[in-house]
Amino acid sequence: MGAAKSNIPLSYFDATEFILCIFMLKFDLMNELHYISTAPLKIATVYRILEQQSPLALSPEAIDAIEHSYAYLHDKLASAKKPIYGINTGFGSLCDTSISAKDLAQLQENIVVSHACGTGPTVPPDIVKIMLLLKIQSLSYGYSGVHLQTVQRLIDFYNHDLMPIVYQQGSLGASGDLAPLAHLSLPLLGKGYFHGPKGPLAAEIVLKNYDWTPITLAAKEGLALLNGTQFMGAYGVHALIKSYRLMYLSDMIAALSMEAFNCNNSALDAMIHLVRPHAGQIKTAERITAFIADSQMALEPNKKVQDPYSFRCVPQVHGATKDTISFVHNTFHTEINSVTDNPLVFGAADKIISGGNFHGQPLAFGLDFMAIAMAELGNISERRTYQLISGTRGLPAFLVQNPGLNSGLMILQYTAASIVSQNKQLATPASVDSIVSSNGQEDHVSMGANAATKCDQILNNVTTILAIELINASQAMSFRNNHATSDFLTSVLRAFREDVPLVDQDRIFSTDIQQAIDFLEHLNIDPDELF
């Protein structure tokens, strides 16, 4: 969390900024509403909601489900003769400790404040926004026993772009993402902080400015807010969306590198891939073939019979990543349309059942699998960069005139290699670990939260590695100026050159890398090409 300026208290909330927030809300509300309902929430739908900044609203069926669940729970509690976990008992290993009726509200507030033990870097606001969306979705199914006003207040936070400050460290990924979700929930009570343009904004002050009264949590509400997989889920959804972009970009940049390296495009022939019909492999070959469809360079004679694996096996390697991401996509699609708190309220069946839907094992495996697969995109990208600067295929060493006087792109490959090595370390699975907690009650945990944060780092690293390959491939293309590549790749090169100029002599290349990263992150890609 960035520190506030020394002359600005944490409670500071500028009136001008507040008015601006109201104005922006009115602007946002002009966008199409997304209604929270039982309709499956797709990853592509989440992407659309975020891109279009669609405000949220509860559908009539969601309102009805929430109200019925709340009413049933409180009717049941009034007549309960047996302890109900987390409602009239303590939590974790304190599950056998009974709580008196007069203390039930205090119990729920206590669990939120006591579990707010997060530390480390803050979760980026765009991921917090997904956390809010997923928590709202899960609570709306009517199996959590929460009050309607609690869910509505979370929607208010989302629609007003008020993102609670949440920390990356603290979750074991098993009893739900307890610490992160506690920080997400604190502002409901008028506690904790929101992200602000000048630093943290105290929730107490923000609520007063919106004329919102802090919520007094009823029985089970604190537990429902904290039990759940929305931290892992949000990171996973964010990672999936980013992965789809990176898979497209890796294919595009690989196509450019293949052109620059004067590759034999027979390795893209559909006949090869149809006799080993992995879906991702076929898609990669088809996409790259389309990228270079009208290239004159593809017709150039004197090509090598075979190219190095980092070029020749792009369909197989990139394709394997695509197939992995498809598997992970299915896991997260199921998860974000699930109820993951505990206990669960089944009013129609007249049951309140304790279970373990909060355990993040499916997500931990998925996040680790995604991390490995995406790291490999960076691995093979760096190998193509190495080949491009090697002084072969008619290209000068390090892709610069007067090598020796100029080091050219030599050290960019060092940087890529360093990041690839870090990714290999980060790709070590978190899900193989478990540490006993809660005095032995929670004796097996998923470590999915750690899997989530390191997967995010890997994806950021892959973006940098691809940016370095793009710098090298575009530079190599400048030495092929007698031959035209495809119209599509020509347009990419033209746009890239507006941000990153050709290298004619040595300069500070960290600037080029950052500009290339910005280019990739802001490149407009049709969503239909991604999902």
Residues forming the active site? 85
In the chain, the amino acid numbered 458 is I
Query: For residue 153, how many C-alpha atoms fall within 13 Å in the half-sphere facing its CB?
Result: 25
Q: Is 74 within 8 Å of 219 (Cβ atoms)? A: yes
Q: Judge if the upstream peptide bond of residue 343 is cis by omega within 30 degrees of 0.
A: yes
Q: Where in 132-241 does DSSP place strands (E)?
A: 167-169, 193-196, 199-202
Q: Is 293 within 8 Å of 490 (Cβ atoms)? A: no
With tokens 């000068």, the residue in question is 396
Q: Is 214 within 8 Å of 135 (Cβ atoms)? A: no
Distance, in Å, from the CA atom of 231 to the CA atom of 228, rounded to the nearest integer, reads: 8
Question: Which residue, among 25, 39, 32, has the nearest Cα to 57 in the 3D structure?
Answer: 32
For residue 36, the SS3 value is strand
Token pair belonging to 250: 């890796």
In the chain, the amino acid numbered 294 is D
147-177 in b/e form (b: 16+ CB < 10 A) is bbbbbbbbbbbbbbbbbbbbbbebbbbbbbb
